């Protein structure tokens, strides 16, 4: 499983799971294009990858803006002549009970998480089709795709929607040599989870059969498999990366 000589785009790469995926890709030999909205955060990730001997570049772009996705693809193909891998990882999750949720918040989450998926994938298709090769991996979640969580009805809807989008896209894209798959992370030790405090983290760990939170690298390794030629005969599928979190019939 390696990405030697491959050009890989990772959206939402400035922190958390996206950063972990980008670092795994770079260690696997990819020229990794880091994408996010904040330049300073991207530059920090890029410097860390370069210090570790990886090859990367940073592009400031917003996945909700079609013109940004077009520019991202044009810049990447202009410099490298190809896009081999797209890992789309962007996602936001403000928590609001359903009865109190304003339409503006609902629309913002859907546009960022679901429409952003569509725009990022669509923008890369021509470059992949021209070479009859592409690996697309979406970062969904167990929330929505497998389980529910109070206050996240919009987020859950988008993450479940990504799986439906992926399955239909897989059928459309297979004839062009393009696979599209997904990962569904559970509780991963990111900045957002750390902010909840040690008591909340300890509770999460108790309900996970493996007894620990996942690390961004754990998700990155699953994404690497789906992005590599080791997964060339897999499309339209999803891997749950959760330490067994969704398995118990009752809380442990």
Average pLDDT, the chain: 96
Q: Is the pLDDT score of 200 beyond 90?
A: no
Q: What percent of the chain has pLDDT over 90?
A: 92
pLDDT at 249: 87
Q: Over the stretch 87-133, which tens digit does the pLDDT of each residue have? A: 999 999 999 999 999 999 999 999 999 999 999 999 999 999 999 99
The separation between the first and the last C-alpha atoms of the chain, rounded to the nearest angstrom, is: 35
pLDDT at 57: 96
pLDDT tier for residue 194 given thresholds of 50, 70 and 90:
confident
Q: Is the pLDDT score of 251 beyond 90?
A: no
Q: Over the stretch 27-66, which tens digit does the pLDDT of each residue have? A: 999 999 999 999 999 999 999 999 999 999 999 999 999 9
pLDDT at 187: 94
Determine which one of 93, 133, 149, 155 is catalytic: 155
- Structural domains present in the chain: 7-240 (3.40.50.720)
- DSSP assignment string, the chain: ---TT-EEEEESTTSHHHHHHHHHHHHTT-EEEEEES-HHHHHHHHHHHHHTT-EEEEEE--TT-HHHHHHHHHHHHHHHS---EEEE---------GGG--HHHHHHHHIIIIIHHHHHHHHHHHHHHHHT-EEEEEE--HHHHTB--TT-HHHHHHHHHHHHHHHHHHHHHGGGTEEEEEEEE-SB--HHHHTT-HHHHHHHHHHSTTSS-B-HHHHHHHHHHHHSGGGTT--S-EEEESTTTT--SS--
Q: Over the stretch 120-167, which tens digit does the pLDDT of each residue have? A: 999 999 999 999 999 999 999 999 999 999 999 999 999 999 999 999
Phi and psi torsions of 60, nearest 5°: -80, 120
pLDDT at 191: 83
Is 155 catalytic? The answer is yes
């Amino acid at each position: 499983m390696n990405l030697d000589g491959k050009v890989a785009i990772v959206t939402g790469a400035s922190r958390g799971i996206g950063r972990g995926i980008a670092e795994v890709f770079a260690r696997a030999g990819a020229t990794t294009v880091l994408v996010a909205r904040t330049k300073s955060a991207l530059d920090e990730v890029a410097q860390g990858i370069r210090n570790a001997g990886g090859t990367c570049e940073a592009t400031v772009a917003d996945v909700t803006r079609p013109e940004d996705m077009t520019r991202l693809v044009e810049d990447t193909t202009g410099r490298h002549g190809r896009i081999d891998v797209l890992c789309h990882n962007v996602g936001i999750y403000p928590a609001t009970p359903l009865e109190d949720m304003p339409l503006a918040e609902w629309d913002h989450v859907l546009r960022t998480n679901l429409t952003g998926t569509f725009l990022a994938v669509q923008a890369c298709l021509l470059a992949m089709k021209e070479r009859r090769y592409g690996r697309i991996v979406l970062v969904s979640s167990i929330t929505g795709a497998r389980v529910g969580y109070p206050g996240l009805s919009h987020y859950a809807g988008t993450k479940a929607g990504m799986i439906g989008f992926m399955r239909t896209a897989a059928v459309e894209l297979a004839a062009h040599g393009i696979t599209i798959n997904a990962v569904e992370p559970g509780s991963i030790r990111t900045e957002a989870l750390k902010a909840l405090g040690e008591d909340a983290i300890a509770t999460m760990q108790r309900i996970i059969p493996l007894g620990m939170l996942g690390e961004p690298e754990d998700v990155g390794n699953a994404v690497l498999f789906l992005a590599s030629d080791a997964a060339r005969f897999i499309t339209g599928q999803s891997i749950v990366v959760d330490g067994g979190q969704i398995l118990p019939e009752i809380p442990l």
